[in-house]
């Protein structure tokens, strides 16, 4: 293991055991001394711009376009009817969207320009909290106010609920009317007709691609009348060739129904590919799924809601509505045909576990032990052994208020909280499965690369979506803080990793891979991420060479930009 002057760490695979031990030691002894905690989450400002950032080094012209990012912004509302309202969980921070316009030089030899702007997206939500003093809309994990009784919570069901879409940026969503006065493409990108923000429910929020102004919400039922369930998936999937849009909708109640659907990008119509209802199928918190050339693959992890999902109404948040993790509740997988309207064509299961993010999925044609060719599905995901990780994302833990971080890690332990890049392999049956056969089938885990050799919030070369691939980029944790502290490039062939790591208290967020047009290799391009310097309370857009993970340029702001969840690069090429 070596650290060179550019902040690049190379980790051969034989350091895994040493890294795991070192992570535990770091959390136990050096966490709070070496890496200062991040302050200022309550008062992250918006900058409607344009704000020109200071560019240092070189950001290649092929990265020109608009980098959108979204996530939580302010985490407190002051001067409410009940005093200051504090947001409990990171996932519930009020939505704040950011845009970095990367402008290629007009002449050869010129410098790339970066223009920044941002806008808060939950002003109505904040205004409602300011008026009544507490959050009445369903949240992810807002802790109950002891001064607000059950009756008040029940009455909140009858108040207008305000959405807080802060998770994923989606562009060119088909099937929905654009709310912009003129449906034209402007700004520093090509082919961007609309921009939507999503979260883990059935609502999509449209924003203006240029000004980031909120334009209103649309429910999935507008796509198809059967999509009436309240829960969905933040990470919709796209067919890289047709642009067709895939997702699922969960209807809860006496029975649970998962409806997997496709929106045709060419004509805007929506088809229900499968309506999955089984006696023992529970509603679950599911943040992503898988798409291959011919199938939609839905994994229902061991993150089940209580009372057939109705506990969400009682608790008024998703996290408290989850059942305690149970190793006997295996992950259930459903393979849905997306080409020939055959519905569910295979079922299988894997041991209990949890994941936020799928990474990629692809099919391979292989011969079985009899010499017969069959399709084998490979699904890559960032796996957790339990659901405990969600409890570590309360603001108290992230900011280590009153030693909350130490208490959390001492209670749950490093083993349950560490991530790993996992690959699940499943040979498709040669004849249609019955439900009994589907229940007996098992998927096989054939690859596991633990942190810090792999990361979270992973991205790959967009041209490799749905295909075999080698490299994945993620936000990593080496155990040096309560948050992410590095960007890791994982080689799935050699299982080795190369990490970029900044000075103490520099926390990067999700990396975005931007390929070089006509690139000679899969890792020919750059990685863009936004880094918060927790000591100086400033942020910068960081550009890394995707092959070497060395810094090639950055664009510096003189203010803090909230560490967000996900982003999207809309190219100008």
pLDDT at 13: 64
Residues in a beta bridge with 147: none
The reply to whether 357 sits in an annotated binding site is: yes
CA 64, 65, 71, 77 torsion-angle sign: positive
Q: How many CA atoms lie within 13 A of 472 on its CB side?
A: 34
At 154-185, the pLDDT tens digits run 544 444 556 799 999 999 999 987 666 555 55
At 232-264, the pLDDT tens digits run 999 999 999 999 999 999 999 889 999 999 999
Report residues of the chain scoring pLDDT below 50.
Answer: 1-6, 17, 24-40, 155-159, 435-438
pLDDT at 432: 58
At 94-130, the pLDDT tens digits run 999 999 999 999 887 788 999 999 999 998 888 888 8
Contact 223, 245 (CB under 8 A): no
pLDDT at 187: 67
- Say what angle helices 404-417 and 16-25 make with each other, to 10 degrees: 160
The reply to whether 569 sits in an annotated binding site is: no
- DSSP H or E stretch at residue 65: strand 65-72
Nearest to 330 by CA among 291, 290, 282: 282
pLDDT at 529: 98
d(CA 135, CA 151): 14
Whether this prediction's pTM lies above 0.85 is answered by: yes
The reply to whether 287 sits in an annotated binding site is: yes
d(CA 311, CA 345): 31
At 11-44, the pLDDT tens digits run 776 555 455 555 544 444 334 333 344 444 556 8
pLDDT at 132: 84
pLDDT at 22: 53
d(CA 485, CA 475): 8
Contact 372, 448 (CB under 8 A): no
pLDDT at 371: 82
pLDDT at 181: 58
pLDDT at 29: 39
């Amino acid at each position: 293991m070596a650290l060179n002057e550019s902040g690049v760490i190379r980790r051969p695979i034989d350091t895994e055991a040493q890294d795991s031990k070192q992570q535990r030691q770091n959390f136990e002894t050096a966490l709070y001394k070496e890496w200062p905690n991040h302050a200022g989450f309550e008062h992250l400002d918006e900058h409607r711009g344009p704000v020109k950032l200071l560019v240092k080094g070189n950001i290649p012209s092929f990265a020109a376009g608009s980098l959108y990012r979204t996530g939580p912004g302010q985490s407190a509302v002051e001067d409410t009817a009940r005093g200051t309202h504090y947001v409990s969980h990171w996932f519930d921070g009020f939505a704040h969207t950011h845009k970095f316009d990367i402008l290629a030089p007009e002449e050869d030899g010129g410098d790339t320009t970066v223009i920044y702007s941002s806008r808060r997206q939950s002003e109505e939500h904040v205004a409602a909290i300011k008026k009544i003093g507490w959050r009445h809309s369903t949240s992810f994990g807002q802790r109950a106010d002891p001064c607000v009784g059950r009756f008040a919570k029940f009455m909140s069901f009858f108040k207008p609920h305000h959405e807080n879409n802060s998770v994923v940026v989606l562009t060119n969503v088909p099937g929905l009317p654009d709310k912009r006065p003129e449906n034209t493409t402007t700004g520093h990108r090509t082919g961007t007709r609309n921009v939507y923000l999503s979260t883990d429910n059935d609502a999509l929020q449209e924003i203006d691609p240029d000004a980031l102004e909120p334009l209103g919400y649309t429910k999935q039922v507008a796509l198809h009348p059967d999509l009436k369930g309240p829960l969905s998936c933040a990470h919709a999937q796209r067919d890289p060739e047709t642009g067709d849009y895939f997702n699922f909708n969960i209807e809860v109640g006496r029975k649970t129904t998962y409806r997997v659907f496709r929106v045709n990008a060419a004509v805007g119509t929506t088809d229900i590919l499968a309506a999955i209802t089984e006696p023992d199928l529970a509603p679950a918190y599911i943040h992503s799924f898988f798409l291959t050339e011919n199938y939609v693959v839905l994994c229902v992890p061991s993150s089940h809601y209580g009372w057939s999902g109705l506990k969400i109404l009682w608790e008024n948040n998703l996290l408290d509505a989850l059942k305690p993790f149970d190793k006997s509740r295996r992950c259930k997988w459903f393979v849905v045909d997306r080409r020939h309207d055959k519905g569910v064509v295979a079922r299988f299961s894997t041991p209990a576990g949890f994941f936020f993010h799928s990474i990629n999925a692809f099919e391979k044609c292989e011969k079985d032990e009899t010499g017969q060719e069959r399709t084998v599905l490979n699904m890559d995901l960032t796996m957790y052994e339990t659901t405990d990780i969600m409890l570590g994302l309360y603001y108290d833990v992230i900011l280590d208020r009153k030693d909350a971080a130490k208490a959390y890690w001492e209670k749950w332990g490093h083993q349950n909280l560490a991530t790993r890049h996992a690959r699940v392999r499943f040979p498709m049956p040669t004849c249609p499965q019955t439900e009994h056969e589907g229940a007996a089938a098992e998927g096989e885990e054939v690859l596991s690369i633990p942190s810090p050799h792999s990361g979270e919030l992973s991205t790959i070369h967009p041209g490799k979506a749905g295909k075999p691939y080698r490299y994945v980029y993620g936000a990593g944790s080496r155990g040096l803080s309560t948050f992410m502290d590095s960007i890791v490039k994982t080689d799935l062939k050699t299982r080795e990793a190369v990490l970029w790591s900044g000075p103490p208290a520099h926390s990067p967020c999700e990396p975005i891979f931007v390929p070089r047009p006509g690139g000679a290799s899969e890792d020919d391009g750059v990685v863009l991420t936004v880094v918060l310097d927790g000591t100086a309370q400033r942020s910068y857009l960081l550009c890394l060479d995707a092959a070497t993970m060395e810094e090639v340029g950055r664009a510096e702001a003189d203010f803090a930009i909230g560490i967000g969840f996900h982003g999207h690069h809309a190219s100008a090429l």
